[in-house]
Amino acid sequence: MPEYRPAYVALGSNLDDPVAQIERATHALAALPLTRLRRRSQLYANPPMGPQDQPEYVNAVAALETALAPLALLDALQAIETEQGRTRSGPRWGARTLDLDLLLYDDLEWDDPRLTLPHPGLHERDFVLYPLAEIAPQLAIPGREPLVALLAQCPSRGLRPLDRADD
């Protein structure tokens, strides 16, 4: 029997119907082998982190249980991005159809050329912390303060929950 571990994935999009991109990505996460989608936050809209001459983003965070190894899960996430039209050219933090970031994998602290865990920007991004706190408020972030303490130090910079009427 495979051993399942908790993992958290940030989802973001600001091109080609971002709400639909996040919904499709959520279904793709649920269909990954050796992986169970446990929960996904509501959708949030927020200003872009990078160049400001791009549409606002739609973001969410998903909680998974997976028996995939961290790099195998990363490969699966990148395959979903590619299937949904993600290209890796253009400016850093530029507009994209889909961005899936592996935030946490169990309590693993890992620094690999392809993957750093916990995600290095997790503790300073409101569009990650607020949805993460929605689905896992008691979460302990390996090597950092508890999620609730990180959230208290990260004010929202325009992040807002999306109502279905906003879609």
Catalytic residue ranges: 86, 96, 99, 101
Of 114, 96, 94, nearest in space to 105 by CA: 114
Between vectors from CA 31 to CA 29 and to CA 36, what angle results, nearest 5°?
A: 70
Rounded to the nearest 10°, the torsion over CA 2, 28, 116, 18 is -160
